[in-house]
Structure formats: structure tokens, C-alpha cells
């Protein structure tokens, strides 16, 4: 949450920072601001509530023309999103300018200390406390910018990614990280700081990732990297693995639409080179080092948040059904707070698109503390979870910019299919025949997904019919229960329509009371072992006049008799069916939200990467 950009080099920093903020806006978009050191070595500050696109036109470019600057796009934690609470923040003496991502947990204690020293505060933010603490330490430690930042960070509890400027030391940006991602791109006589690679890629592919507890002093042509305990560090430059084109909209109205439509291509990146279609044999290179632990695991715990948690629920079903390994799925946000029983022979799987979700990261560290083997299913290459797990496999969905996760979900499902196949093969819990069938179906999957993308106008038409609904129910059973949860989450987060996902048979234990002629109910009713039961559940809703929308396979001749609307999907293997079934649900939520005039790429109150607890 919150995006940080910084620039130091020979070029005018403002357009680079503003462009970077636009790319990071998915991380938060309540307010934005920039601080630039201009040619006269003055620091100019502009910050405002609203989106960067609105704000950029108001910045007086003539006085913001300098080669050093920082910027921020905010997702509010402390203090409401208004002009005053926007970043950058400055200290009482206007000597330091700071952008911050994270939460300073002991800000009240620090505020008390500073207040007793005569410091006065003007905002509701924890960041203002930190910048004043830097100022205080500066005055008390021979006016040394670096020492002031380092000592201040030693006093801080909580999380931060920061970039800081000092009026009296204008040739530097100091950046630091603990719990909030930060990296910098190393160009020719210039450095670009960012919360992620998307703000850097237009300028260079060479990046250095900061680790927790580290800071860097950045000059135009020099980098000093240290721990906040004052130890020197050497870090190799790494390469960003994707291109600028992948983070552009490429003619689509929204990133979300682009990301839905590119799934047939993207899913191939998840399995390419990892499976032999003819035999169903799977090789996940990233897991080689912990293979024995996985094959001998007495139990698997999957932990994640939101959409990734839904993928985990599908994973639980697959690992138990096809590998016969007891599997539990935990909300990462709950996991460590309930004193979980974690054993050394447990395998704990962390699923995360961003690889930076604070709760998932904390769950991983908890699992490691107890000696379990940790395994990451992560999208963002080089992210914290990816770097800290014992072993992992990238899902290779490519950059996902739309706040509502779509292609990352289907690629997470595909990764879990591969893991299941790899384990099942070793343990002999699936027949050779079944393996071949799954392999053959994986090969066909992109074509089947493409058939659905080609039907988007029909999904749009259905969406128009339901755009004014006040509530929605999504029901499914077995592997399709998590798909129902995911369908409901997609709808509520981008259209603001209240939606609930439920196991279809549980409906009669409560939610059935909600059903009347105004309640649309989406049934995921593709043919599998629970099909007949789902039909009975549909009957129960029909009897109460609910509006029935079914996701059903193309060969289902009877379903139309039970439904008001049928969204037809190609039949595939049960394990792959959730991938197929998710696509019409993604379209439904996308088109309902756009019909209601919602900003689907930046839904209210949300941020793509939740790096605070």
C-alpha cells in the first residue's frame, strides 16, 4: 500500500516521478504529492487529495524543475485522506521531506518525546512524527543527514519503506525499508527509487532490492548500502524480467479487462516447460531442494489472503482428493494470532500475487519459526515472500495492475494443479490414465479459455440485466465452492454490490431467507460429482422465485429448464474446471461494474498490495 518514487540524476525529475506515481497508483490513490529540489537548491512541495492525474495538472512545473525529488501516492492508514495528510511530510523546520509506506506503531511514544522537546505537529499522520524525529536527531548529531535517518529508524517500531530529502544536503536521497518493499533502478548517472519495478522499467532493467533493516544513500552516481545497525552491504544488481509493454493497457479500456482477456496466453507461462502433456509428468524446478519434504509431508497448511486464499481452498480440495494429504487452509491474517500448531514435518504453502502481503509474510515467518518447510506460490519475481521461502515456484502471470485479481487467480490455480500432479505421481495416488487425461486437457485449456473470451459480449448483455441489483448470491459445491467465493468477492470489490459466496447446500441453513424475486443467484453448475445435488439446490431457489444464472457446460441440455440465464463454458477435467468457470464470473463483475460507472481498476478503499496488517 502506498507507492513511493524517487529520482536523482541529470534529468528533470518531475515527469519521471509523476509517471512513476501513475504506475504505482494501484497501490493507493487517496492523495499524492511530490517534493523536488530545484536548481536554486530549494525544496518545493506539492501535495493534494485525489488521483495523480488530477493533481499533476496543478503542479507549477516551472518551479519544480530539479534533478532530485521524491513522490508518493497514498492509501491512508493514519489520518483521513486530505491535502494535509498527503505525503511528502516535512519537519517543523522544513529541512527534511519524507515519503513513507507502512505504519510507525510507536508513533504516540515518539510524539510525546518530541512534543516535550518543543516539536509541533500539523497532520494526523505517523509519518510526520518520523520526519520530525529525523530532524531532532539531525540537530543532536552534528547535522549528519545519514546518521539522523539511521538513528531515527533504530527508534521506530513498525514497518516502513521511506525516501527522504534534506535541504542542507541536497545531493542525496536516503531510502530505507522494513516490511514495505523498496528498490531502485540503476541507470547511467541516475537512480530511480520505487516501491516496485513498474516505475523503473521505462528507464532501466538494472535494479537493486533493499532488504528489511537496510538503508541506502543514493547519489547521482554512487550508492552506499548499509544495515541500520551500521554494517556495510554489497548487493549485486539484478534484472527486471518483464517489458514496459506488459504494464501498459494495450488498447483495452481497463487493465482488468486486459488481464481477463490475456488469460489464455498467460496460463501457458505457468505450465510451459513444466509438464509433459502426453504423460502428465510434472517438474517444478523451484521445488527440487525440498522435494522429499513435500512428498513425505504429514500435513499441508495453505495460508493466504483474499483471492489467493480462495485459490488455496481449491488447492486443499485437490491435494486431499488426488494426493491424499491432509490439508488445511488458513487466512494468513488469523494464522499467527491463534497460536497455531505447526510441526517440523508440515509443509506450509504461501500463495501471494504480490509476494508482499503483510499478513502472508508474517504467516510465513511464523511457520519458519516453528521449523516447517515453507513453499511460495508467488507472482512478483524478487518479492519478499519469494525471497524468504525455503523453496517456491513463480506462477508467471506477469504484472497484474488491475486491483481486482483475475489472471493471478487462474495462474495460482494452475500452479496448484501442477503441484498436485507432481505429488500424486510420486505417491501413485492417481492412475496413469488419469494423468494422461489431465495432461491432454491442460494442452487444450488455452483454446477453451479463448472460447470464453470470445463470448464476452454475451456476458456483457447479462451484466446489463443485473447492473441495478442490490445483492447477489454465488453458490457452488466442491471445487466450485471457492469459485463461488471468488465470484462474489470480484463483484463486491469493483461494483460495490453486496455479494455472498456460499456452499450451495449450506444455503438452506440461513441465506435462503434472503431469496425473493429480486435476488440474483449465480450457481456454478458444471457437471461433476455434485451436479445432481446442485440441481436440487437450484430448485430450492426457483421455488422462492430467485433469479437464476447458471454456469453450465456446453453439453448440458437440461440446465436451461432450471435457469433464467445460462453462461455456457467448455467442459474440462474437474481439476481444471475452476479455471474455466472463473472467467465468466470475472466478466460478469467487470461488466456490471462498468455499467454502474465504477472505476474498476481503482475501486474505492482498496489497494493492490496490502503491506500493512
The length of the chain in residues reads 613
What lies within 8 Å, CB to CB, of 367 at 6+ separation is 301, 303, 342, 346, 348, 350, 374
Instruction: Report the first-to-last Cα separation within the chain, whole angstroms.
Output: 11
Alpha helices in 508-572 (DSSP H): 531-542
- If binding is defined by CB under 6 A, does position 25 make contact with ligand F6R? no
Interface pick for ligand F6R out of 194, 198, 357, 374 (rule CB under 6 A): 357
- Grid coordinates given for 602: 481503482
109 contacts 68 by C-beta, under 8 angstroms: no
Residue with Cβ nearer ligand F6R (308 or 541): 308
- Grid coordinates given for 552: 453450465
- If binding is defined by CB under 6 A, does position 610 make contact with ligand F6R? yes
- Integer Cα distance of 252 and 276 in angstroms: 34
- If binding is defined by CB under 6 A, does position 399 make contact with ligand F6R? no
- Integer Cα distance of 92 and 406 in angstroms: 45
Nearest of 353, 354, 350 to residue 331 by alpha carbon: 350
Residue with Cβ nearer ligand F6R (36 or 395): 395
- Integer Cα distance of 47 and 56 in angstroms: 10
Beta-bridge partner residues of 4 = 72
Window contacting ligand F6R (CB under 6 A); options: 306-314, 419-427, 430-438, 552-560: 306-314
Q: Which of 2, 261, 305, 323 is catalytic?
A: 2
Residue nearest to ligand F6R as judged by C-beta position: 306
Interface pick for ligand F6R out of 86, 404, 417, 569 (rule CB under 6 A): 404
Interface pick for ligand F6R out of 307, 480, 586, 589 (rule CB under 6 A): 307
Nearest of 536, 578, 542 to residue 563 by alpha carbon: 542
Cα–chain-centroid distance for residue 537? 34
Residue 608 falls in the annotated catalytic set? yes
- If binding is defined by CB under 6 A, does position 374 make contact with ligand F6R? no
Interface pick for ligand F6R out of 38, 354, 572, 589 (rule CB under 6 A): 354
Shortest distance, CB of residue 357 to ligand F6R, whole angstroms?
Answer: 3
Residue with Cβ nearer ligand F6R (405 or 572): 405
Interface pick for ligand F6R out of 52, 98, 301, 305 (rule CB under 6 A): 305
State the CB neighbour count (10 A cutoff) for residue 558: 9
Nearest of 73, 79, 43, 283 to residue 161 by alpha carbon: 73
Please work out the total of residues on this chain that contact ligand F6R, with binding judged by CB under 6 A: 15
Shortest distance, CB of residue 199 to ligand F6R, whole angstroms?
Answer: 18
- If binding is defined by CB under 6 A, does position 306 make contact with ligand F6R? yes
Alpha helices in 102-156 (DSSP H): 107-116, 126-140, 145-155
Interface pick for ligand F6R out of 36, 183, 308, 484 (rule CB under 6 A): 308
Residue 2 falls in the annotated catalytic set? yes
Shortest distance, CB of residue 266 to ligand F6R, whole angstroms?
Answer: 16
Shortest distance, CB of residue 50 to ligand F6R, whole angstroms?
Answer: 23
Residues with active-site annotation: 2, 608
The residue ranges that bind ligand F6R (CB under 6 A) are 305-308, 352-354, 357, 360, 404-405, 489, 493, 609-610
Amino acid at each position: 500500500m502506498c507507492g513511493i518514487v524517487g529520482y536523482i540524476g541529470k534529468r528533470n525529475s518531475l515527469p519521471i516521478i509523476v509517471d512513476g506515481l501513475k504506475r504505482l497508483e494501484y497501490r493507493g490513490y487517496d492523495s499524492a504529492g511530490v517534493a523536488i529540489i530545484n536548481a536554486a537548491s530549494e525544496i518545493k512541495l506539492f501535495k493534494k487529495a485525489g488521483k495523480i492525474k488530477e493533481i499533476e495538472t496543478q503542479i507549477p512545473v516551472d518551479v519544480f524543475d530539479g534533478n532530485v525529488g521524491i513522490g508518493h501516492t497514498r492509501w491512508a492508514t493514519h489520518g483521513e485522506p486530505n491535502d494535509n495528510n498527503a505525503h511528502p511530510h516535512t519537519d517543523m523546520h522544513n529541512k527534511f521531506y519524507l515519503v513513507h509506506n507502512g505504519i510507525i506503531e510507536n508513533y504516540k511514544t515518539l510524539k510525546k518525546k518530541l512534543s516535550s522537546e518543543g516539536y509541533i505537529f500539523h497532520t494526523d499522520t505517523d509519518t510526520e512524527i518520523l520526519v520530525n524525529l529525523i530532524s531532532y536527531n539531525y540537530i543532536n548529531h552534528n547535522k549528519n543527514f545519514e546518521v539522523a535517518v539511521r538513528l531515527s529508524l533504530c527508534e521506530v517500531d513498525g514497518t516502513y519503506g521511506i525516501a527522504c530529502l534534506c535541504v542542507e544536503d541536497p545531493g542525496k536521497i536516503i531510502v530505507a525499508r522494513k516490511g514495505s518493499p523498496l528498490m531502485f533502478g540503476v541507470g547511467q548517472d541516475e537512480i530511480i527509487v520505487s516501491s516496485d519495478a513498474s516505475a523503473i522499467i521505462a528507464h532501466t532493467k538494472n535494479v537493486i532490492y533493499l532488504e528489511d533493516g537496510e538503508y541506502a544513500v543514493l547519489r547521482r552516481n554512487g550508492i552506499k548500502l548499509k544495515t541500520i545497525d551500521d554494517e556495510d552491504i554489497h548487493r549485486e544488481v539484478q534484472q527486471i524480467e518483464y517489458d514496459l509493454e506488459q504494464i501498459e493497457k494495450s488498447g483495452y479500456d481497463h487493465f482488468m479487462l486486459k488481464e481477463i482477456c490475456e488469460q489464455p496466453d498467460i496460463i501457458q507461462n505457468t505450465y510451459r516447460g513444466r509438464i509433459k502433456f502426453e504423460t502428465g509428468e510434472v517438474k517444478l524446478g523451484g521445488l527440487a531442494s525440498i522435494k522429499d519434504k513435500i512428498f513425505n509431508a504429514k500435513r499441508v497448511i495453505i495460508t493466504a489472503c483474499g483471492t489467493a486464499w480462495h485459490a488455496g481452498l481449491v488447492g486443499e480440495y485437490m491435494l486431499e482428493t488426488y494426493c491424499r494429504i491432509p490439508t488445511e487452509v488458513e487466512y494468513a491474517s488469523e494464522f499467527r494470532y491463534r497460536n497455531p500448531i505447526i510441526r517440523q514435518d508440515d509443509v506450509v504453502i504461501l500463495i501471494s500475487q504480490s509476494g508482499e502481503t503483510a499478513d502472508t509474510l508474517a504467516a510465513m515467518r511464523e511457520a519458519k519459526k516453528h521449523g516447517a518447510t515453507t513453499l511460495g506460490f508467488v507472482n512478483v519475481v524478487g518479492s519478499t515472500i519469494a525471497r524468504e521461502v525455503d523453496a517456491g515456484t513463480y506462477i508467471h502471470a506477469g504484472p497484474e495492475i488491475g486491483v481486482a485479481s483475475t489472471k493471478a487467480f487462474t495462474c495460482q490455480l494452475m500452479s496448484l494443479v501442477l503441484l498436485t500432479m507432481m505429488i500424486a505421481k510420486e505417491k501413485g495416488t492417481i492412475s496413469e490414465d488419469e494423468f494422461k487425461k489431465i495432461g491432454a486437457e491442460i494442452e487444450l485449456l488455452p483454446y477453451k479459455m479463448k472460447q470464453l473470451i470470445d463470448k464476452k459480449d454475451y456476458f456483457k448483455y447479462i451484466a446489463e440485466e443485473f447492473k441495478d441489483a442490490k445483492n447477489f448470491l454465488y453458490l457452488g459445491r466442491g471445487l466450485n465452492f471457492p469459485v463461488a467465493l471468488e465470484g462474489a468477492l470480484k463483484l463486491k470489490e469493483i461494483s460495490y454490490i453486496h455479494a455472498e459466496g456460499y456452499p450451495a447446500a449450506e444455503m438452506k441453513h440461513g441465506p435462503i431467507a434472503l431469496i425473493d424475486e429480486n435476488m440474483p443467484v449465480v450457481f456454478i453448475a458444471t457437471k461433476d460429482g455434485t451436479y445432481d445435488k446442485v440441481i436440487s439446490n437450484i430448485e430450492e431457489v426457483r421455488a422462492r422465485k430467485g433469479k437464476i444464472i447458471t454456469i453450465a457446460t456446453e453439453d448440458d441440455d437440461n440446465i436451461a429448464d432450471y435457469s433464467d440465464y445460462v453462461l455456457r463454458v467448455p467442459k474440462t477435467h474437474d481439476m481444471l474446471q475452476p479455471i474455466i468457470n472463473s472467467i465468466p464470473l470475472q466478466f460478469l463483475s467487470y461488466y456490471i461494474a462498468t455499467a454502474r460507472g465504477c472505476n474498476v481498476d481503482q475501486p474505492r478503499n482498496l489497494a493492490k498490495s496490502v503491506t500493512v496488517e
